[in-house]
Chains A and B, each alone.
Chain A
Amino acid sequence: MFGKYKPMWGEKTQLKSSYDAVIIGGGLHGLATAYYLAKDHGITDVAIIEKNYIGFGGAGRNTAIVRANQRTQYNVPLYKEALDLWPILTKELDYNLMFNNCGNLNLMHSEAAMKAARMTIATAQFHGVESHLIDAKEAKELVPALNISEDITYPIHGAMFHPPGGIVRHDAVVWGLARGASKFGVEIHQQTEATAVNTRNGKIVSIETNRGTINTNKLLISAGGYSAALIYGMVGIKLPISVLTIQAMVTQPLKPLLDHVVSSGAYHCYANQTLKGEIATGAHMDQWPNYTTQTTAHYIKHQGEALSEFMPCLRGLRFMRIWAGLADMTPDMAPILDGNDHIEGFYFNCGWGYFGFKSCSASGKYMAEFMAKGQAPDMIKPFNLRRYEQHKLMGETAELVTYTPNN
């Protein structure tokens, strides 16, 4: 039990004075980008600079749900690829990511919601993503715990059923990618804080850290909820982002009763049963920007009320843990993947809001291609920052997001 352990992602190494590429942020997107840079493009002289420890931020705070039932033509293919990559990554990394392909059920509580679901499903089917509209009775057959009676606050009209989605063990993805990247020679430097970015003639030349200067001409900032503040603070690029604290919690473990991810917009709540048996549930964000990652009694109460209405068998359960993370929300609910535009050699990947976990595999793959070739691959071209000044917002939501001051 007290044997000698070797870190899975290589021994601690000295920070070199120069790398071919530097990635700020040891989260899922940073690790995935480093992995694909090394694997697909042969760029192995890469340093990941992480202020805390890998998986400190959103990577370890999400509720591990994966799906590809987004709304617009640009987003669906990207999330589909991310979803398709889980079984492939499990093999490639030789690490069990525990992909539980249980399917997602989005509950609809009005005719208007059913109509919106029809449109989303049409988009999904056009892009080859399996998604169906089912009525309340069929939903009850899939998830017997559902309350489909008329006398709850928001009676269930039907649901959007998306079988390819499910749950992936988020820590396993962090560890698997870190091990996979370090096997190719990528260096992961934890407890290392980037403090400044130096440019010369509009090109990246080096970055400053608390452990010294690193020369590089390729830099990616991919620091999840902290990206926007870092990018503005160190590079001076302002982003259309609001950073909000989002909360989640788990109940005591139960015997298996819920074999789908169930979510409801009207109740503002989603729930799934983890492989340990806990009901993991979340969705609430405080409606003003902050970096606290604090949790609130207000929300535990809301969650208890919502869950016990649409899944009454959960009444009387105890919550065991509650936690929070950061979500960097954009006005169109779509991410920003850009680079080599404002400053040569400077790339950034942010604005995923609460979709950062489910997308990390595909985003890493395409950001790596972007960094290796200097040209944005077609898949992520539409996600550039300039779309906001060209008024080409993505329309991932029917209206601008409730959480931002925009509406």
Chain B
Amino acid sequence: MSLTITCPICGKRNGYEFRFGGEDKGPRPDEDSLTPQRWCEYVHLNECVAGVQKEWWVHKDGCGSWFTIHRDTVMNVEVAKPEADR
């Protein structure tokens, strides 16, 4: 699929060089007072947004860096950071 992704080190590259790393779920939960529910949410649960979401990618066949981008999951294109998140 004709997806391009902008790596912070290498710039805009073919999407097949990257591996999807999941929806952005914020920082890893604190291990003190961590419940199975909270851990399950962090590990497994997704919002599955049909629209723009913030997500992790790794430049697998490139520099190897991990970073987040915003992508429209309906159009399958990388988009600029939405106004609300700035």
Contact = CB atoms under 8 A, between A and B. Distances in A.
Interface of A: 226, 228-229, 232, 238-243, 245, 286-292, 294, 296, 298, 328, 331, 388-391, 405-406
A242 B15 CA distance: 18
Interface residues of B, number: 25
Residue from B20, B21, B22, B44 whose CB has the most chain A CB atoms within 10 Å: B44
Nearest to A240: B44
Contact of B48 (A232, A286, A406): A232
A350 to B, nearest CB: 10
Contact of B20 (A229, A288, A291, A390): A288
B37 to A, nearest CB: 5
A388 B1 CA distance: 31
A229 B1 contact: no
Contacts, number: 71
Nearest to B20: A288
30 contacts: A226-B50, A229-B48, A229-B49, A229-B50, A232-B47, A232-B48, A238-B45, A238-B47, A240-B40, A240-B44, A241-B46, A242-B46, A286-B1, A287-B20, A288-B15, A288-B20, A289-B46, A289-B48, A290-B1, A290-B74, A291-B74, A294-B76, A298-B16, A328-B48, A331-B44, A388-B45, A389-B40, A405-B19, A405-B20, A406-B22
B73 interface: yes
B36 interface: yes
A336 B19 CA distance: 26
A286 B19 CA distance: 11
Enumerate the 3 nearest inter-chain pairs by beta-carbon distance, A residue then B residue, closest first. Answer: A288-B20, A240-B44, A405-B22
B48 A242 contact: yes
Residue from A226, A243, A289 whose CB has the most chain B CB atoms within 10 Å: A289
A238 B45 CA distance: 6
B48 A241 contact: yes
Contacts of B21: 405
B48 A290 contact: no
A240 B74 CA distance: 19
B20 A289 contact: yes
B75 interface: yes
A184 B56 CA distance: 49
A292 B76 CA distance: 7
B74 A292 contact: yes
Nearest to B73: A290
Contacts of B1: 245, 286, 290, 292, 294, 296, 298
A298 B56 CA distance: 24
B73 A289 contact: yes
A326 to B, nearest CB: 10
Contacts of B44: 240, 331, 388
A287 B48 contact: no
